[in-house]
Amino acid sequence: MDLEFRELYQQLILDHNKNPKNFGKLQVCNHQSVGMNPLCGDHLKIEVNISPNQYIEDIKFSGDGCAISRASASIMTSIVKGKSIPEVKIYFEQFHSLLTTDAIPEDDLDERIAIFSGVREFPARVKCATLCWHTLLAAVNGKENISTE
Ligand code: ZN
């Protein structure tokens, strides 16, 4: 990772951790799940309102965790709001591949997702970054709890 990219990555994590987007609780929500990452102590609750035609109408997250888990949830909720469930699953696959393999060309990705390639250098933090995505998928699939362990 070059220096410029590293700085961009760190700045983005810090900004989203300090001023997270979509943080709080929804007034109306029809799907929710709680995700735990015992290794780091992160716990997130994702609340989501899915329309009858399978679009994410609104989404919020709450809970507590490290800077990476909060920044990732903040960015994820911004990306998926207004998207369809099939689109969300594609984003999930891209994010997961990006963090666990180097097989995915970063140029093809939404830059808010591509920035997380920085986490690959810190394998212990991969679960922090992916927790919100696993929790969202669990919520969509009607599972109320997940754990990374
Ligand atoms: Zn963490």
CATH of the domain at 75: 3.90.1010.10
Give the CA distances from residue 16 to residues 64, 85, 111, 137, 148, in Å, rounded to whole numbers and listed in that order: 14, 24, 15, 21, 22
Q: Report the separation in Å between the CA atom of 81 and the middle of ligand 1, taken as the mean of its atom positions.
A: 23
What H or E segment, with its residue span, contains residue 8?
A: helix 3-18
Mean pLDDT of the chain: 91
Give the CA distances from residue 94 to residues 41, 72, 75, 145, in Å, rounded to whole numbers and listed in that order: 25, 14, 14, 23
Rounded CA gap, 64 and 132, in Å? 12
Q: Report the separation in Å between the CA atom of 3 and the middle of ligand 1, taken as the mean of its atom positions.
A: 23
Q: Report the separation in Å between the CA atom of 36 and the middle of ligand 1, taken as the mean of its atom positions.
A: 10
Answer whether 44's CB lies under 8 Å from 34's CB: yes
What's the pLDDT score for residue 80?
Answer: 97
Q: Report the separation in Å between the CA atom of 125 and the middle of ligand 1, taken as the mean of its atom positions.
A: 6
**Helix ranges (DSSP H) in 19-143:** 67-80, 85-100, 111-114, 126-140
Number of domains in the chain: 1
Rounded CA gap, 98 and 86, in Å? 19
- In the structure, what pLDDT confidence band is assigned to residue 50 with cuts at 50, 70 and 90? very high
What's the pLDDT score for residue 1?
Answer: 58
Higher pLDDT residue, 148 or 58? 58
* Percent above pLDDT 70 for the chain: 97
- Which tokens sit at 75? 């960015």
Is the predicted pLDDT of residue 81 greater than 90, yes or no?
yes
What H or E segment, with its residue span, contains residue 58?
A: strand 56-64
Q: Report the separation in Å between the CA atom of 54 and the middle of ligand 1, taken as the mean of its atom positions.
A: 30
What's the pLDDT score for residue 120?
Answer: 84
Q: Report the separation in Å between the CA atom of 53 and the middle of ligand 1, taken as the mean of its atom positions.
A: 34
Contacts with 53 (C-beta within 8 Å, 6 or more apart), sequence order: none
Is the predicted pLDDT of residue 20 greater than 90, yes or no?
yes
- Total residues belonging to the chain: 149
* pLDDT tens digits, 131-142: 999 999 999 999
Range of the domain at 69: 3-147
Higher pLDDT residue, 108 or 86? 86
Q: Report the separation in Å between the CA atom of 86 and the middle of ligand 1, taken as the mean of its atom positions.
A: 27
